[in-house]
Every structure is written in C-alpha cells, then in structure tokens.
Amino acid sequence: MKVKKFFWFGTALLLLVLAVVVWWRYYFVFGEGVKAGNLNFLVKKGYLFKTWEGRLIQTGFKTPKPGSLQSNEFEFSVVDDSLAHRLERASGKFVELRYKEYLHALPWRGMSNYTVTAILSIEDDPGHSVLPF
C-alpha cells in the first residue's frame, strides 16, 4: 500500500517538475525590448512548420575588439501573419520593432529566440545622417 502511494506521488512530482522545466525553457519570456534598423528581408520558410523569419540591419560599428568590423544584425521570427504582411511591404525601410526573447526556439514559433510582437514605426527616410563615402 505504501509503495503504491509512493509511486503515484513520485510520478506526480516528476510530471510537475517536467512541466516546469518545459515552461522555463520554451515559454518563459527572458527579456523584452525594442530594436531599430533597416529591414533586410522577411521570408516565410520551413519544412513542416512555415514560419516568418527576418533580419534587421542596425547602424553602427561598435565592436568588442578594437580594429575589427562587426555587422549588427538582429535575426527574428514573426508569429502574427498580419504583422508579417506589414513587414513584407517595408523591406529596405527603417523600422522599429518590439520583441520578446525566449531561452529556446520552438518549431511552430520560429527559428529564432527573438519573436516580434509589434511594429512601432516604419519610416522611408529616418533622417539619420549618411556618410558621404
């Protein structure tokens, strides 16, 4: 009788721990923020789950090592089709995007840990100074 009770308690505890680990790894929002830059591309791709994947090119040349160049790219996924269709029309434009960061990606949420949740602005000419060379 005690062995049966211990088995059911152990099984329930194991399932609870497993559920918490899955939630933590895949559904816990690790961070939120805003990124701005020129939208390089947005494409719908995937073998089984078709997801929207994009890249934002941010301005600046700040690098961790002096004397080297770094491309400031932000790769993201878009879950909402209406946001994706608006971003499709904004390729090459300056955009500001609100995003959520997860610890790990899920196949139906996208290939990136970053998921765009809102478009704050889309501008043709952001008024940033461009170098003459």
> For 108, which DSSP code?
T
**What CA–CA distance (Å, rounded) separates 7 from 50?**
42
Nearest by Cα to 101 from 32, 26, 9, 14: 32
Across 5-43, b (16+ Cβ under 10 Å) vs e yields eeeeeeeeeeeeeeeeeeeeeeeeeeeeeebbbbbeebe
Q: What is the pTM of this model?
A: 0.76
- Residue-wise pLDDT tens for the chain (133 aa)? 788 888 898 898 999 999 999 999 988 999 999 999 999 999 999 999 999 999 999 876 666 666 666 668 999 999 999 999 999 999 889 999 999 999 999 999 999 999 999 999 999 865 555 555 4
Q: What is the dihedral of CA 41, 48, 112, 17, to 10 degrees?
A: 170
**What CA–CA distance (Å, rounded) separates 113 from 104?**
6
Domains of the chain: 29-123 (2.40.50.140)
